[in-house]
């Protein structure tokens, strides 16, 4: 075996002659972000990337043009094919688990799953990336400050929605009191390098949507009883979307429940390489749904829905929970998926004369393979014209907390998507995920565009309000 094959890192962006300046810069950034130790050499323990998944890759390259990071960099390691090769190299002992190049590539990936949707061999890439990140996380020794910050973000905030709401209320005060505006105008935000963070921070709702075991009756003949997942960011920054979701589901003939025992779906923790914490969060939602007796578990955030539907795999090594997780995931439905399947009250929709373009959330289009349902619903609204944007399914760069961990790549993708949206000439950009909504709002502001960004359910809800008003005037 030649040097090219015996040293995979040399081939795929490591210490060999094929490494370019971009990859070297990426590795330097990775070194600054993580405290490396020369300890772990390969995968170990639980949550190991399965060989029957990475060995399915035939290196055909069909994934390359769909991968956002490869499209932006044209670097092999920044593609699914290159990253799979790196995972295999670690598994076979040719590459150290904490190699800077490997750590960076596992972090740079958006986990958008676009590669899965086009792979002819059926490589389930997400089953490689998330365990690889978990392996890196467990093997990395962090100082007390980094460890504390990570614990607060992933375990305290997302582990307890009451704490998250408290933190969100503080942010609400900062935004409404003028402190945020003062930080911008005085230059303090720029001085402390917080401008980008302020731009991406969600605008907190005045009233939060809190699940307190509410029950809303269906309007008309009941078709199903559903649990609405209130979410983390959705319930605090986009509470109006949760409220609109209840009303639209009622109009579709659904009885809506919001068990107080539900919590964060675990997407943030799983994507951040803490699958153990993700499992603990998942157990709450499984138990809450089991006790509810509902027919479906409905979600209005695409990224959360993808994780909820994959609880079966999350617990595949846990015999005590696996069957329950599989049964739960089989009942999870994205709200657009459910509404398109059971039908909506089309007669009650009022006219909205506007032009919209649709920004496809990655975890709806690629992970859940739901592309037509949102479009079908938009086309049912009288007067609304849908104009497709170029690269509608290419990631906008949000990807959970990616815009914080990989800000440069996130902003490149955000600008690319914002330009594609404005090129349509539409008045409104519609999406189905809160992270995408925040990212597109920030991107469009930077482009100087007046285009608004709304969740698809908000448009359906508005259409019903217009219909009800017209009926009242008749």
Contact status, residue 302 vs residue 433, Cβ threshold 8 Å: yes
Q: Which long-range contacts (CB under 8 A, 24 or more apart) does 218-223 make?
A: 218/250, 218/253, 218/254, 218/255, 218/256, 219/250, 219/251, 219/253, 219/345, 220/251, 220/253, 220/345, 221/253, 222/253, 222/254, 222/255, 223/252, 223/253, 223/254, 223/342
Report residue 22 as tokens.
């971009």
Query: Do 57 and 116 have their domain in common?
Result: yes
Which residues 6+ apart lie within 8 Å of 457 measured at CB? 241, 244, 245, 248, 300, 335, 432
Q: Is residue 188 part of a domain?
A: yes
Q: How far is 73 from 79, CA to CA, in rounded Å?
A: 9
Report residue 340 as tokens.
């398109």
In this prediction, residue 150 has a pLDDT band, given cuts at 50, 70 and 90, of confident
pLDDT score recorded for residue 157: 86
CATH code of the domain containing 109: 1.10.1060
Query: Do 229 and 307 have their domain in common?
Result: yes
Query: Do 66 and 110 have their domain in common?
Result: yes
> Pick from 122, 139, 156: which residue ends a domain?
139
CATH code of the domain containing 332: 3.40.50
Which residues 6+ apart lie within 8 Å of 422 measured at CB? 444, 447, 449, 451
Q: Is residue 298 part of a domain?
A: yes
Query: Do 150 and 135 have their domain in common?
Result: no
Instruction: Tell me the pLDDT tens digit for each residue of 311-349.
Output: 999 999 999 999 999 999 999 999 999 999 999 999 999
Give the structural domain span for 390: 348-473
**If you average pLDDT over residues 93-105, what whole number do you get?**
93
Q: Is residue 67 part of a domain?
A: yes
- 3-class state of residue 313 by DSSP: helix
Query: Do 174 and 95 have their domain in common?
Result: no
Query: Do 62 and 169 have their domain in common?
Result: no
Query: Do 285 and 372 have their domain in common?
Result: no
In this prediction, residue 145 has a pLDDT band, given cuts at 50, 70 and 90, of confident
pLDDT score recorded for residue 181: 78
Query: Do 107 and 155 have their domain in common?
Result: no
Q: Is residue 205 part of a domain?
A: no
Task: State what percent of residues in the chain have pLDDT above 90.
Answer: 73
Q: Is residue 208 part of a domain?
A: no
> Pick from 293, 322, 340: which residue ends a domain?
340
For the cut 80, the answer to whether the pLDDT of residue 474 exceeds it is no
Least confident of 9-13, 113-117, 210-214, 456-460: 9-13
Residue among 417, 392, 404 at smallest CA distance from 72: 417
Percentages of the chain per state (helix, strand, coil), in multiples of 5: 55, 10, 40
User: Strand pairing partners for 455?
Assistant: 431
- Domain count of the chain? 4
Q: Is residue 413 part of a domain?
A: yes
In this prediction, residue 180 has a pLDDT band, given cuts at 50, 70 and 90, of confident
Instruction: Tell me the pLDDT tens digit for each residue of 59-83.
Output: 999 999 999 999 999 999 999 999 9
Least confident of 120-134, 135-149, 188-202, 220-234: 188-202
> Pick from 124, 139, 154: which residue ends a domain?
139
Q: In what order do the strands lie in the sheet with 354-358?
A: 384-386, 354-358, 428-431, 452-455
Query: Do 68 and 122 have their domain in common?
Result: yes
User: Strand pairing partners for 429?
Assistant: 357, 453
Q: Check residue 48 and report its DSSP letter.
A: P
Query: Do 161 and 129 have their domain in common?
Result: no
Query: Do 22 and 62 have their domain in common?
Result: yes
Task: State what percent of residues in the chain have pLDDT above 70.
Answer: 90
Instruction: Tell me the pLDDT tens digit for each residue of 368-424.
Output: 999 999 999 999 999 999 999 999 999 999 988 888 889 899 999 999 999 999 999
Query: Do 304 and 364 have their domain in common?
Result: no
Instruction: Tell me the pLDDT tens digit for each residue of 14-63.
Output: 333 334 444 454 444 344 333 444 434 789 999 999 999 999 999 999 99
Q: Is residue 433 part of a domain?
A: yes
Q: Is residue 209 part of a domain?
A: no
Contact status, residue 350 vs residue 429, Cβ threshold 8 Å: no
Which residues 6+ apart lie within 8 Å of 469 measured at CB? 350
Q: How far is 473 from 219, CA to CA, in rounded Å?
A: 21
CATH code of the domain containing 430: 3.40.50.1860
In the predicted model, what is the mean pLDDT of the chain? Answer: 88
Which residues 6+ apart lie within 8 Å of 319 measured at CB? none
In this prediction, residue 235 has a pLDDT band, given cuts at 50, 70 and 90, of very high
């Amino acid at each position: 075996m030649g040097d090219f094959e015996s040293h995979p890192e040399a081939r795929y962006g490591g210490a060999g002659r094929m490494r370019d300046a971009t990859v070297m810069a990426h590795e330097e950034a990775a070194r600054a972000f993580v405290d490396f130790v020369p300890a772990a050499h390969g995968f170990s323990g639980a949550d190991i990337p399965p060989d029957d998944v990475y060995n399915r890759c035939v290196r055909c390259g069909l994934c390359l043009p769909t991968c956002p990071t490869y499209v932006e960099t044209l670097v092999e390691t920044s593609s699914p094919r290159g990253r799979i090769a790196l995972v295999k190299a670690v598994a076979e002992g040719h590459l150290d688990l904490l190699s800077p190049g490997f750590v960076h590539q596992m972090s740079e990936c958006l986990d958008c799953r676009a590669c899965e949707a086009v792979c002819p061999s059926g490589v389930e890439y997400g089953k490689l990336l998330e365990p690889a990140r978990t392996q890196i996380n467990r093997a990395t020794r962090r100082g007390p400050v980094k460890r504390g910050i990570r614990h607060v973000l992933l375990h305290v905030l997302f582990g307890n929605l009451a704490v998250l709401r408290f933190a969100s209320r503080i942010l609400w005060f900062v935004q409404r009191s003028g402190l945020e505006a003062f930080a911008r105008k005085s230059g303090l935000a720029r001085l402390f390098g917080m401008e980008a963070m302020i731009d991406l921070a969600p605008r907190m709702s005045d009233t939060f949507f809190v699940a307190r075991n509410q029950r809303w009756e269906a309007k008309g003949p009941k078709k199903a009883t559903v649990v609405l997942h209130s979410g983390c960011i959705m319930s605090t920054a986009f509470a109006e979307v949760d409220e609109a979701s209840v009303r639209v589901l009622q109009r579709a003939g659904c009885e809506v429940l919001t068990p107080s025992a539900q919590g964060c779906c675990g997407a943030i923790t799983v994507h951040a390489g803490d699958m153990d914490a993700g499992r603990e969060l998942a157990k709450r939602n499984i138990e809450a749904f089991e006790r509810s007796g509902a027919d479906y578990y409905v979600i209005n955030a695409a990224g959360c829905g993808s994780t909820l539907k994959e609880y079966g795999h999350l617990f595949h090594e846990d015999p005590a929970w696996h069957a329950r997780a599989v049964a739960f995931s089989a009942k999870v439905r994205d709200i657009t998926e459910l509404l398109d399947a059971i039908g909506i009250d089309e007669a009650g929709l009022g006219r909205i004369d506007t032009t919209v373009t649709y920004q496809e959330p990655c975890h709806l289009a690629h992970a859940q393979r739901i592309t037509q349902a949102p479009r079908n619903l938009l086309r049912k609204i009288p007067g609304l014209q849908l104009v497709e944007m170029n690269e509608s399914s290419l990631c906008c760069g949000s990807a959970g907390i990616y815009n914080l961990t990989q800000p440069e790549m996130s902003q490149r993708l955000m600008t690319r998507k914002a330009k594609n949206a404005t090129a349509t000439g539409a008045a409104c950009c519609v999406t189905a995920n809160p992270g995408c909504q925040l990212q597109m709002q920030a991107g469009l502001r930077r482009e100087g565009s007046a285009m608004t960004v709304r969740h698809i359910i908000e448009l359906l809800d508005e259409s019903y309000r217009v219909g009800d008003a017209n009926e009242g005037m008749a």
